[in-house]
Chain A
Amino acid sequence: MSNVTTASSTEAKWWGGGKSPFNVEYGKVMMWYFLMSDAFTFGAFLISYGTVRFSTNGWPDPNEVFRSFPFAPEGVHAPLVFVSVMTFILIVSSVTMVLAVHAGKNMDKNGVVRNMIWTIIGGIAFLSCQAWEWNHLFHEGAWWGQNPFINADGTASSTNFTNFFFTITGFHGFHVFSGVVINIIMLIMTLTDKFEQRGHYLMIEKAGLYWHFVDLVWVFVFTCFYLL
């Protein structure tokens, strides 16, 4: 819609001339700036983690710490298998989110509903996995201020391993939880035809931005805590 035609339609007239430099709706601008802001929050956490970790003499080996799998017999050695499953679930939920946004662009309500449900299931599954992992670590004696693991070189380990692990994965989990809540609200709004009435599914797109961001952050968190 050009400026000329905008000026001629009375409804948008008083706003018509102002054109966003990025040609996006204001809510999306807000979301992008919020994500930048949130990236700085996580960035500060991960840089703090790096600072402390590299000024500490030793660090536990993630292959030893994260080696359990639910329902597997005690003492099974499955390093990083469970967290790989978690990561896979979260990434698949991003794919279904993309499909939901795509369906929204085509005004395909059923497609949006179906893919949003899958995304919500993915989010809840990830959170459940995280809950299991936290619970398992807690029963091994790990918590804020308590670190039962030893360094890779066999020396006693600083509690900052568990301190940072629980704080940062917890903060990320809180973001996933918020994302699931947002997605459920989006689903309800879709089911009650809110977006059909508006004529567009922009809200789904904005929720999608947030969801992808949370996934992206997980890639960094995963790398920092499980791989390095």
Chain B
Amino acid sequence: MSHEEVLHGHEGHGHDDHGHHEHHETFLSKYVFSMDHKMIAKQFLITGMVWAVLGGLMSVLFRLQLGYPDASFPWLESILGKWAKGGQITPEAYYALVTTHGTVLVFFVLTAGLSGTFANFLIPLQIGARDMASPFMNMLSYWFFFTASIIMLSSMFVETGPFSGGWTAYPPLSALGDASPGSKSGMDLWIIAMALFIVSSLLGGLNYIATILNMRTKGMSMTRLPLTIWALFFTAVLGVLSFPVLLSGMILLIFDRNFHTSFYLSDIFVNGVGALSNEGGSAILYQHLFWFLGHPEVYIILLPAMGMVSEIMSVNSRKPIFGYMAMLGSLFAIAVLAFLVWAHHMFVTGLNPFLGSIFVLLTLLIAVPSAIKVFNWLTTLWRGNIRFTPGMLFAIGFVSLFISGGLTGIWLGNAALDIHLHDTYFVIAHFHIVMGVASMFGMFAGVYHWFPKMYGRYMNNSLAYIHFWVTLAGAYLIFWPMHYEGLAGMPRRYFDFSIWESFKMFADLNRFISTVAMIVFAAQLLFLMNFFYSIFKGRKVITMNPWEANTLEWTTPIRPGHGNWPGEIPEVHRWPYDYGKDGQDFIPQDVPVGANESHGH
């Protein structure tokens, strides 16, 4: 038996039972321990939403402190107890809130919630597969994430509080239990949650890669893949290669915390404890390990949003995506450069300035593929017949935010400027716009655009428009002023700025930012209401292809069962961006190339 026969025979066999999906499904196997990629995607999405609400609520709480440092709110004590004695958030609680907000939004919402949802949902549907390569591993991936979530959540209820040393968990705060209340059992739970999260991301990532490479339908060559899939592919590769380094870093951290080692510790004196015996370790080592993950992580968050935006923009401009190969090449360039720039987070650690200059160069190089992508999006919009669906608005909003936040990245990527700007509100403004809010916009775009496929109903457009405009205006109103605060030297992660003469002038501005933050948070509740109401009561989808899009997911029934296509999987004859070709508005991928069709892609 030849190798090829082995491979195809096995494939055909292993997945044959997905074809007929009438087999008996219990509540448990359909909604809880589901192996259907669409259900797993929804599980990731809804868990991510729960975390987004919690993480957002935390930011509202600490913005309350920053906006009104002298006021006391008795209701705070009734919900936070000892963490807000007398109605004012304690410094310890403030740091715990900031830390958990960062951890949760970066990892649980924008990594698991974003690529977990859309990689699971879109990969099999858009490449024409019945399910993931290994549905069982896919299910495990979700349950590892769920367990990580529960452990992270439980860390908020231990007596000494959750970890409070910042989401980057730098030692010695993270390595020494005596360093702060949050460094005690809260930190152990934080590490365990992160380790489980890494396992989840590994299981998911391997599956995404194998599925994209091996499970494509007939005719779906790599260059006929929608850009969403390419973006999710590079995201998975980044995750599979960068998270293990964080895992190593975390294992060393566990030993430092619990087994008297000195990987990250050296020559430390703790008040009340005295000089510690640890010597020979390096706290900077942790920062290298962390940022070797931490920088690719930025692109793990951004790339799925970029891919979805490309797809949604092309569909709603009724034009082919401009520069498909350039888009693909720039995704690849970003994925490679992502691994070569981590030390730009460490310019002020005493890094050799010569080495720093190399990282400056590599960092600024990322501007090239980023600019290529931005111009390709703009030229896709150019003279398009644009339909302003909510998904499209969020996609355009993504590009706006990506430009605004990306430009300040050029500032921060310069070692010389970074000496002034590091650890100020300028950094907060930069990464919230370019990575946080922009990717959130990508996620919203994806949810609005693919909601009809997920639930067979539409979301309410009026609510969606309010949600979009409040969020877009709010994002700029919150983060734009922070650039000025940062340029003036206002440091991040401070509990109370009112005691510094130099930052007193920002009291009103801080109050303004906090007010807007609360309004924007309320607008997100509007989205949640819209989402959950529409699942049950939204307007029903009556055509298979409501957006008149070309990709394969719209050739499935309105509510696809396990296995996606009731009959045969469609064969692909063309790339996914034949919009406005030969006078036809759109030509789906499964339509054969006509005899007198012009040669395009």
Contact = CB atoms under 8 A, between A and B. Distances in A.
Interface stretch (A26-34, A68-76, A78-86, A208-216): A26-34
Contact of B280 (A3, A19, A48, A56): A56
Contact of B209 (A33, A51, A146): A33
B130 interface: yes
Contacts of B244: 37-38, 40-41, 44
B280 A158 contact: yes
B306 interface: no
User: Chain B contact residues (Cβ within 8 angstroms of A): what range?
Assistant: 35 or more
The 5 closest A-B pairs by CB, nearest first: A17-B218, A145-B260, A12-B12, A158-B280, A44-B248
Contact of A14 (B6, B217, B241, B262): B217
B588 interface: no
B569 interface: yes
B118 to A, nearest CB: 20
A144 interface: yes
A103 B243 CA distance: 36
A45 B217 CA distance: 40
A154 to B, nearest CB: 17
A36 interface: yes
A16 interface: yes
Interface string A1-27: 101001101011111111111111111
A15 B16 CA distance: 10
B282 A20 contact: no
Interface of A: 1, 3, 6-7, 9, 11-27, 29-30, 33-34, 36-38, 40-45, 48, 51-52, 55-56, 144-146, 158-160, 163-164, 167, 171, 198-200, 202
A16 B5 CA distance: 11
Contact of B10 (A30, A160, A164, A200): A200
B214 to A, nearest CB: 4
13 contacts: A7-B218, A11-B9, A12-B8, A15-B8, A15-B215, A18-B217, A26-B214, A40-B244, A44-B245, A48-B285, A159-B260, A160-B263, A167-B252
B210 interface: yes
Given A26-B133, A145-B260, A33 B206 contact: yes
B249 interface: yes
Contacts of B245: 40-41, 43-44
A183 B179 CA distance: 45
Interface of B: 1-13, 15-16, 19, 127-130, 133-134, 202, 205-207, 209-211, 213-220, 222, 237, 240-245, 247-249, 251-252, 255, 259-263, 279-282, 285, 288-289, 292, 565, 568-569, 571-572
B280 A44 contact: no
A48 to B, nearest CB: 6
Contact of B8 (A6, A51, A167, A202): A6
A71 B523 CA distance: 74
Nearest to A39: B244
B282 A55 contact: yes
Secondary structure at the B interface, as helix, strand, loop or mixed, is helix
Contact of B7 (A24, A40, A55): A24
Contacts of A55: 282
B242 A17 contact: no
Contacts of B241: 36-37, 40
B384 to A, nearest CB: 32
A115 B248 CA distance: 33
Contacts of A202: 6, 10
B224 to A, nearest CB: 11
A160 B281 contact: yes
A21 B262 CA distance: 46
B261 A199 contact: no
Contacts of B130: 14-15
Contact of A30 (B127, B129, B134): B134
A18 B7 CA distance: 12
B217 A44 contact: no
A52 B285 contact: yes
Contacts of B216: 17-19
Main secondary structure of the interface of A (DSSP, over half): helix
A37 B2 contact: no
Contact of B213 (A22, A52, A171): A22
Given A15-B12, A18-B215, A41-B244, A160 B262 contact: yes
A22 B134 CA distance: 18
A21 B15 contact: no
A3 B571 CA distance: 12
Contact of B262 (A1, A27, A37, A159): A159
A85 B222 CA distance: 48
Given A15-B11, A41-B247, A34 B206 contact: yes
Given A17-B216, A51-B282, A167-B251, 4 more contacts: A15-B8, A30-B207, A37-B244, A159-B280
Looking at A6, A25, A45, A55, the one whose CB has the most chain B CB atoms below 10 A away is A25
Contacts of A12: 8-9, 11-12
A171 B251 contact: yes
Interface centre among A22, A41, A164 (most CB of B within 10 A): A41
Contacts of A199: 1, 6, 9
A167 B261 CA distance: 10
A11 B261 contact: no
Contacts of A13: 12, 568
Contacts of B213: 20-22, 26, 29
A21 B130 CA distance: 19
A158 B280 CA distance: 6
Contacts of B263: 48, 52, 160, 163-164
A169 to B, nearest CB: 13
Most buried by A among B7, B19, B133, B134: B7
A45 B568 contact: no
Contacts of A3: 218
Contacts of A27: 133-134, 210
A14 B19 contact: yes
A26 B123 CA distance: 15
A182 to B, nearest CB: 15
A38 B243 CA distance: 10
A19 B10 CA distance: 14
Nearest to A171: B251
Nearest to B5: A1
Contacts of B3: 23
Contact of B289 (A34, A42, A44): A44
A171 B5 CA distance: 38
B151 to A, nearest CB: 21
B261 A14 contact: no
Given A45-B248, A160-B261, A26 B210 contact: yes
Given A18-B214, A40-B242, A25 B219 contact: no
